[in-house]
Chains A and B, each alone.
Chain A
Amino acid sequence: MKSFKQIFTEAENKITGIAAAPGIVISKVYLFTKEKIKINDGEITDIDEAISNFNEALVKSKKELNKIFAIAKEKMEATRAAIFEAQVMILDDPILIENIINRIKSEKRQPEYIVNDEISKYQDLMRLSHESYMKERAQDIEDIKNRIIRNLQKRRWKSKITNDLIVVSDSLTPADTILLSRCNVKGFVTDHGGVTSHAAIISRSLNIPAVVGTHNATTTIKDGDNIIVDGFHGYILVNPTEEQIIFFRKKLIHLIELQKGLEEFKDKPAMTNDGHEIQLMANVDVTGEVDVVISSGAKGVGLYRTEQILEELGEFPDELEQTTIYSRLSSRIYPDDIIIRAFDIGGDKVKFLDFEEPNPFLGLRGIRILLENKVIFKTQIKAVLKASKDKNVQFMLPMVSTIGEIQRSKELIEECKKELKHDKIPFDKNMKVGIMIEVPAAAVMAKEFAMEVDFLSIGTNDLIQYLMAVDRGNDFVSDLYQEFSPAVVRTISHIVNEANKAGKTVSLCGEMAGDTLAIPLLVGLGLNSLSLSPSTIPYAKRIISKFSFVKAKELSDDCLCCSTETEIQQKIEHFFKINNITRTRNII
């Protein structure tokens, strides 16, 4: 049989990208285009259905805008807020709606065509004006027009995409990924994005193979093509030959056998061969993922990303909804612990402000937004407290960069406790509160910050991004996003040592924990707790069982003396070799 290298070198139908989520899949393609809005001007037969679709799109758009509005109001100057108000009013404009509905009835064409045509008429008039602000206003109207059209079309693609396809797209927002995964998508391929783009993270947690950053997938692959996606190596084969299909079918069978073999690790603790136990917890992105968590053999949830609820619901859930979600999770996970992280909004996650920040990653995100919007923050704190009554819930604050932020958050938590106590609602009085260490300032100050809280959790994605000053989603610089940079390794070591000095526990919950190559190094650095994608946990257990803590410590001591990423990678690869550890991607 040919080797993988041979197969791939000979292939003329290959596309190379970044391996973002492991697995192999052979299936047909659904080309998901959303950047350019295409208007369907086709004729319709069912007028009632068209009108009800139009009304539904209006309701959906209103819901979205109100979500944006809820927060924007507190933050924005009145002039900008007025634009939102006007946008909401347009969705209620009786004349506009009447005209559109009348035209749907008389012209019998797709509502999206009529909406586009009708609203564009007003925009043309606005663009005629010599006032520059009127031209800008035409742009505001463009937003609302596209929002309605998008909501009209979402209905259509949901019914158009059939099950069991591989989605190929320019880029995918976290919301797209979640929506599409409901159609039992088999794989994801994108032109843009890196390993730590949120879409890649979600693919991993949903166990869907993904290759990202291909640059040209959408121009090379056509709708309905048959493709092979190799999410271990980051390769795609378009309309594969018989030989390639046979080769990958064999790999798939091999993979399934290997995964069965991993099941023996499920109920065993993650332990080095000299008896040092590592707590492996699961990261949870999507509420429906708990089953995967439980079957993975995770020891609790080390990171529950609550902002995903916003993605799923499209709006801020109220206290009751949140309490229900958190309580259900905590009781499913019981007696293990679940660490619930406060909404981490901003950056590339959950864009709810309609104005562009010049520098979103250095702007209003994480705890900064929450402290500005106390109503939302307190609603969440109370829901988390209510879910803590069985004492297995911990609460974690994202993007902390000063002690003041911790203190103000703690004051709010105390306020919420008082209010619950007053209402005689049960909760865990001693619920542990911790912080994410993902801003370099917090890393430097780890000991002092740790004194203020019960635990620290290192978020490597943002920590590396801020430490290396590199946008992880930007293909041009994403090779500077170095997990094994000596600066990263030394920073993690510093945080662990400082947390120990303060006598507080420290864990690591970034994507680095899910990179099987990083595991011996992290164990050696003294991390006793890692939180990773549930699908990676069995692989991680297998690797941990193959080395000793003493050896891992030697490895990390060595790595702390290195001055380049290459040196560190070589040392780790050497470690894998001499300890006879094979990574799954190398077995397949």
Chain B
Amino acid sequence: MMIEKTVKIVNNAGLHTRPAATIVKLASKYKCDFNILKDGLNINGKSIIGVMTLAAEMGSELLLTFDGVDEKEASEEISDYFNRGFDEL
């Protein structure tokens, strides 16, 4: 089983350093694998340097994949953080 979720960047500043750090911190709490896909680039979501590389500006779409025992909880918490515009709305 694997959960896939498509999310959109909705805040003005995009996926900048602070949210990148928060995403990694959230992901690290879970056991499941977590990847982010954007424009053919597949990044491990537990790698800060990887997430920083995504350069996702406002309006861009990302595909999040979760695979592992706690994939459900992880997918909910992380996609929710994206949908809240990283609490910057």
- Contacting residue for B46 out of A90, A94, A122, CB 8 A: A94
* A119 with B52: CB separation less than 8 A: no
Please name all residues of chain B whose beta carbon is closer than 8 Å to the beta carbon of A86 when the two chains form the complex: 17, 20-21, 48, 52
- Contacting residue for B55 out of A85, A89, A90, A134, CB 8 A: A134
Say whether chain A's binding surface is mostly helix, strand, loop, or mixed.
Answer: helix
Given A86-B20, A131-B14, decide whether A126 and B47 contact each other with a Cβ distance below 8 A: no
* A126 with B53: CB separation less than 8 A: yes
Please name all residues of chain A whose beta carbon is closer than 8 Å to the beta carbon of B20 when the two chains form the complex: 86
* Whole-angstrom distance between the Cβ of B65 and the nearest chain A Cβ: 15
Asked if B16 lies at the interface with its beta carbon under 8 angstroms from chain A, I say yes
Asked if B50 lies at the interface with its beta carbon under 8 angstroms from chain A, I say yes
Please name all residues of chain A whose beta carbon is closer than 8 Å to the beta carbon of B41 when the two chains form the complex: 125
Chain B interface residue count, Cβ-Cβ cutoff 8 angstroms = 18
* A129 with B55: CB separation less than 8 A: yes
**A95 closest partner in B (C-beta):** B47
Please name all residues of chain A whose beta carbon is closer than 8 Å to the beta carbon of B14 when the two chains form the complex: 131
- Contacting residue for A82 out of B21, B24, B49, B55, CB 8 A: B21
As a 0/1 sequence over residues 4 to 38 of chain B, the CB contacts with chain A under 8 angstroms (1 = contact) are 00000000001011101100100000000000000
A421 to B58, CA, bound (A): 58
Please name all residues of chain B whose beta carbon is closer than 8 Å to the beta carbon of A83 when the two chains form the complex: 17
Asked if B57 lies at the interface with its beta carbon under 8 angstroms from chain A, I say yes
Please name all residues of chain A whose beta carbon is closer than 8 Å to the beta carbon of B21 when the two chains form the complex: 82, 85-86, 89
Asked if A93 lies at the interface with its beta carbon under 8 angstroms from chain B, I say yes
Asked if A429 lies at the interface with its beta carbon under 8 angstroms from chain B, I say no
Asked if A561 lies at the interface with its beta carbon under 8 angstroms from chain B, I say no
Given A79-B18, A82-B17, A85-B21, decide whether A93 and B55 contact each other with a Cβ distance below 8 A: no
Please name all residues of chain B whose beta carbon is closer than 8 Å to the beta carbon of A131 when the two chains form the complex: 14, 55, 57
Asked if B79 lies at the interface with its beta carbon under 8 angstroms from chain A, I say no
Asked if A141 lies at the interface with its beta carbon under 8 angstroms from chain B, I say yes
A83 to B55, CA, bound (A): 15
* B44 with A95: CB separation less than 8 A: yes
A86 to B53, CA, bound (A): 12
* B55 with A94: CB separation less than 8 A: no
**A82 closest partner in B (C-beta):** B18
Please name all residues of chain B whose beta carbon is closer than 8 Å to the beta carbon of A141 when the two chains form the complex: 49, 52
As a 0/1 sequence over residues 128 to 158 of chain A, the CB contacts with chain B under 8 angstroms (1 = contact) are 0101011001001100000000000000000
* A122 with B50: CB separation less than 8 A: yes
Please name all residues of chain B whose beta carbon is closer than 8 Å to the beta carbon of A82 when the two chains form the complex: 17-18, 21
Q: Give chain A interface residues in 78-105, CB to chain B under 8 Å.
A: 78-79, 82-83, 85-86, 89-90, 93-96
* Whole-angstrom distance between the Cβ of A529 and the nearest chain B Cβ: 52
A140 to B52, CA, bound (A): 11
As a 0/1 sequence over residues 466 to 503 of chain A, the CB contacts with chain B under 8 angstroms (1 = contact) are 00000000000000000000000000000000000000
Given A82-B18, A137-B17, decide whether A94 and B47 contact each other with a Cβ distance below 8 A: yes
* A122 with B49: CB separation less than 8 A: yes
Please name all residues of chain A whose beta carbon is closer than 8 Å to the beta carbon of B47 when the two chains form the complex: 93-96
Please name all residues of chain B whose beta carbon is closer than 8 Å to the beta carbon of A137 when the two chains form the complex: 17, 52
**Most chain A CB within a 10 A radius of its CB, from B16, B44, B48:** B48
A133 to B48, CA, bound (A): 17
Q: Give chain B interface residues in 38-64, CB to chain A under 8 Å.
A: 41, 44, 46-50, 52-53, 55, 57
Please name all residues of chain B whose beta carbon is closer than 8 Å to the beta carbon of A134 when the two chains form the complex: 55
* B48 with A93: CB separation less than 8 A: yes
* Whole-angstrom distance between the Cβ of A332 and the nearest chain B Cβ: 47
Please name all residues of chain B whose beta carbon is closer than 8 Å to the beta carbon of A79 when the two chains form the complex: 17-18
A134 to B53, CA, bound (A): 8
A93 to B20, CA, bound (A): 13
A575 to B28, CA, bound (A): 75
A418 to B51, CA, bound (A): 50
* Whole-angstrom distance between the Cβ of B28 and the nearest chain A Cβ: 8
A125 to B40, CA, bound (A): 13
**A129 closest partner in B (C-beta):** B55
* A89 with B50: CB separation less than 8 A: no
- Contacting residue for B16 out of A90, A93, A96, A133, CB 8 A: A133
List residues of A whose CB falls within 8 A of some B CB.
78-79, 82-83, 85-86, 89-90, 93-96, 119, 122, 125-126, 129, 131, 133-134, 137, 140-141
List residues of B whose CB falls within 8 A of some A CB.
14, 16-18, 20-21, 24, 41, 44, 46-50, 52-53, 55, 57
10 closest cross-chain pairs (CB), A and B: A95-B47, A129-B55, A82-B18, A89-B48, A134-B55, A95-B44, A125-B53, A82-B17, A122-B53, A86-B17
Given known contacts A86-B52, A89-B21, A131-B55, what 17 new A-B pairs fall within 8 Å (CB)? A79-B17, A82-B18, A85-B21, A86-B20, A86-B21, A90-B48, A93-B47, A93-B50, A94-B47, A95-B44, A95-B46, A95-B47, A119-B49, A122-B52, A125-B41, A126-B52, A137-B17
- A-B contacts, 26 of them at CB < 8 A, read A82-B18, A83-B17, A86-B20, A86-B21, A86-B48, A89-B21, A89-B24, A90-B48, A93-B49, A93-B50, A94-B47, A95-B49, A95-B50, A96-B47, A119-B49, A122-B49, A122-B53, A125-B41, A125-B53, A125-B55, A126-B52, A126-B55, A131-B55, A131-B57, A137-B17, A137-B52
